[in-house]
A and B are shown apart, each in its own frame.
Chain A
């Protein structure tokens, strides 16, 4: 397995607003080491969500390249990209985005089922994943029977279903109270440490970012600061200061 499950080179993304091209990312070079937890932070409009979408193959760059699990995404057709995403990427969204008609177990199984893998063959794995996120006793519950934090943990288990190369989390604690958010962050930390999962998380919250191994700061579509070794110190204050400095300059 590659030491960098995903990386990008000279990544640019422009959006068209009428006749004008609005730059969102400006020549970003970025790599994620295997088994690490990276937080991407930045003010509104800095391009952090766009960067994550491009890394996960949800969108295509204007120029530059993304390499995911050894595949150059620009060379893949839409279906091939979809299959790669299904097998190699796990997504966690701010709004959880569970299917309300499926149980927790079925939601976790969704990528496997989409891949044509029979549920019965993977039943034990699914149960293990739900146990990992401490929801083993809720596997038959539907989303409307779970709290927000529980739903997000189901989403985490779903993201791990296909044993992906990388997990991308977009503001995973954005819709949660602080206690639930902490549980989710601890869960992410656990799967990084315990399973060796590679996690990239977009967040506004310095406290959330302090759970990461590395914080990358974006401003105006470019990486301006990278801070390492946060995990040992939970150095929330330092992260917050750097964020405030960035936003103060806006």
Chain B
């Protein structure tokens, strides 16, 4: 073993440049996978941390079935819960949303493709002072905590938030509510730990009665946190039994019983499609890295064929030769992994911060789990060893006599034959499964990943099959470097296997780059189309503290306002037939069909029976829904089908009046009439109003009028539709920036492959280059020859990448449809096609500069002595 290790390490050391390049390729692949793993875990952890810490020591949380509804559930349920066997403590709470008066102008609420809002309001958490500390942890840092005797507007704030607001113990904090301005007296401060992490620290703990006052609800709760005995808490089986017992006792009330972290998991589900997309990209990065590894080892083995022959003749068995090469692969994997971990953590830091901002959650730092390391390192190790295995096997199969007689070159390959035999079939299979096979959500991710890998494998083989004819056809273009360039282009055919893998790697990088651009463009186009159609009107008027019907009356009476329509969102669950997956939390958006249809419209996936007007009429009648295409796809809904929702007033059936395009809430949206909102949810206030201006009145002028007359009184935020669209586009572009980053990584790895290939090409033709120099090739002509060779690689990789990119672009758009339910119009990004092809050419030339310089600079005599 010592001999094998020595041989392996010495060989790696003797080819330092190549070793570094290959390790770099491995590192980038591992970094991408690790960064995505850490980012996804961090995001989930940041959601879970909030709800776990907010839930404190509680093992169960009881919440209203319709969480976003106005009424909550009756206070009387608390007595029942406290009487259940096993309940040690039960802490009730009610919540209201507010905003410091000082932040009214700065507040805005936007959401992006993740469906999560990015605005930060102040949560007023109404608690019972004597029971809550038994459930939640409060670390008092100043003043005092709430006491049972506190009935007035006293509040305990989180110290960091108080500092931001410039208030301390004894100060008053002015807040906004639908009823107007009010003040809270700050009596204490807690650290941003335990319960203090709720809503990123933007939480005020107040007596429950304060929330009752502000919301107009009497004796109504939003949540009961339940603590049980240690024996039950420590046993998963006992805890599950306890949960069932509690559910049975509260079955009569319209509530759910969950483990506290479930809420975080629900929120993180909204990011699912985005996270899964990142996961897929990171896997493809690893695959491209695998190409580089295979190529390096194939070349290394070919170079050392004679050396292996000598070793076989005098000392080593086949297994030992195999082991030498695999030990090299293992060493490279370890070095690459160490580097990849460092790079990956750095990447994850940036990605995590970015994603938590998009998701509207306060960053809680990176959650670096051992599992993320294990997965990434394991994947890197497996890909490296798999990629190196075939060259290692080939090395072990060569007989000593053949090896000693052979010349060290990679020679002809079976790529052409294999390429045409298997390539088209794999390509077609991967594409068809990706595009046409309907998938259940639980298996969708796994299947699309496997289909993508099959597709890419097929593409690489097809590239091999096309190599010879394309080289002949395009080789003349290397004549841009004159006669020397044409000589260079002809050289490609001498090491087909090596060059094909390099071309395939470049092809994949270019194709992925085109795919991400197409996805971003298509998404942006569809989003814009939807926003323009769905928003309509001239102005969006909203408030952090919601707008009661009085606000609508006041807005209507303003000069210049022609029409006004309300909108309100509530969270709701669907019960009934399951698809086999956990029930989804949906978002119900209530609209006034009569006024809404005058201002904006919906984009129906298919024209409903009777047309759009008939669909609106049906919605207006009540008991009907427009469902977003993502939801319709998940539940197999079409117009006329029944769909039940759990509301505060019971479970009710609705009729699907139409399937609509919608980019909110990860596609899990339904639209209902305003009357149904009042009837089933008891809610009357709006999140926003959409206004149209009278003819001749400019939107900006109307906005100014509204701001002047009602802005402060109603705590309004006013945007034009144009401004809203710009904000939506900004978040969308930011969301896709991470995919562009991963595509760039793939291109970088393929560039490393080109450097590797050209370096080897120059090294193994030292004698030939010396001959050309002897015959009268100048150094410049030698450089042109190498650059001409690389140019053909760039032409092949870029051209094939362009063709493959047309397919991957369609596939990425399809991924969004499968995973998120969005229906996108495919847009072909002509500029991306051109720029990506140019990038391939530039990469090929830049990557060949150093090998070209090396080739031209080498001494003639020294090179003539090369034994290659």
The residue that B775 contacts in the complex, of A86, A95, A101, with Cβ under 8 A, is: A86
CB within 8 Å of A: which of B278-322? Answer: none
Classify chain A's interface size: 20 to 34
The stretch from B342-350, B483-491, B555-563 touching chain A is: B483-491
- Name the CB-closest residue of A to B491: A101
The residue that A97 contacts in the complex, of B771, B778, B779, B861, with Cβ under 8 A, is: B771
CB within 8 Å of B: which of A68-102? Answer: 78-79, 82-83, 85-87, 91, 93, 95, 97, 99-102
- How far, in angstroms, from A115 to B483 measured CA to CA in the complex? 10
The residue that A83 contacts in the complex, of B484, B774, B776, with Cβ under 8 A, is: B776
Given contacts A58-B861, A93-B864, contact A101 B490 (CB under 8 A): yes
Shortest beta-carbon distance from A158 to chain B in Å: 7
Shortest beta-carbon distance from B406 to chain A in Å: 14
CB within 8 Å of A: which of B362-421? Answer: none
- Name the CB-closest residue of B to A109: B483
Are A97 and B768 within 8 A (Cβ)? yes
Q: Please tell me if B468 contacts chain A, counting CB pairs below 8 Å.
A: no
Q: Please tell me if B154 contacts chain A, counting CB pairs below 8 Å.
A: no
Shortest beta-carbon distance from A61 to chain B in Å: 12
- Please give, as numbers and ranges, the residues of chain B lying within 8 Å of A82 by CB-CB distance: 773, 776-779
The residue that B483 contacts in the complex, of A97, A99, A100, A114, with Cβ under 8 A, is: A114
Q: Which of B768, B773, B774, B777 has the most CB of A within 10 A?
A: B774
Are A99 and B768 within 8 A (Cβ)? yes
Shortest beta-carbon distance from A62 to chain B in Å: 14
- How far, in angstroms, from A162 to B776 measured CA to CA in the complex? 11
Are B771 and A79 within 8 A (Cβ)? no
Are B493 and A101 within 8 A (Cβ)? yes
Q: Please tell me if B767 contacts chain A, counting CB pairs below 8 Å.
A: yes
- Please give, as numbers and ranges, the residues of chain A lying within 8 Å of B772 by CB-CB distance: 99, 110, 114
- How far, in angstroms, from A101 to B776 measured CA to CA in the complex? 18
- How far, in angstroms, from A114 to B785 measured CA to CA in the complex? 11
- How far, in angstroms, from A78 to B776 measured CA to CA in the complex? 11
- How far, in angstroms, from A162 to B775 measured CA to CA in the complex? 10
Given contacts A99-B487, A101-B490, A101-B494, contact A91 B774 (CB under 8 A): yes
- How far, in angstroms, from A69 to B484 measured CA to CA in the complex? 27
Are A86 and B776 within 8 A (Cβ)? yes
- Please give, as numbers and ranges, the residues of chain A lying within 8 Å of B773 by CB-CB distance: 82
Q: Please tell me if A207 contacts chain B, counting CB pairs below 8 Å.
A: no
- How far, in angstroms, from A99 to B774 measured CA to CA in the complex? 13
Q: Please tell me if A149 contacts chain B, counting CB pairs below 8 Å.
A: no
Are B767 and A97 within 8 A (Cβ)? yes
Q: Please tell me if B781 contacts chain A, counting CB pairs below 8 Å.
A: yes
Q: Please tell me if B444 contacts chain A, counting CB pairs below 8 Å.
A: no
- Please give, as numbers and ranges, the residues of chain B lying within 8 Å of A162 by CB-CB distance: 776
- Please give, as numbers and ranges, the residues of chain B lying within 8 Å of A58 by CB-CB distance: 774, 860-861, 864
- Name the CB-closest residue of A to B484: A114
Q: Please tell me if A59 contacts chain B, counting CB pairs below 8 Å.
A: yes
- Name the CB-closest residue of B to A100: B494
Q: Please tell me if A195 contacts chain B, counting CB pairs below 8 Å.
A: no
Are A111 and B767 within 8 A (Cβ)? no
Shortest beta-carbon distance from B498 to chain A in Å: 16
- Please give, as numbers and ranges, the residues of chain B lying within 8 Å of A59 by CB-CB distance: 859-861
10 example contacts (A-B, Cβ-Cβ < 8 A) are as follows A56-B774, A58-B861, A78-B778, A85-B774, A85-B775, A85-B776, A97-B768, A101-B490, A114-B772, A158-B775
The 7 closest A-B pairs by CB, nearest first: A86-B776, A97-B771, A101-B490, A91-B774, A114-B776, A82-B778, A58-B860
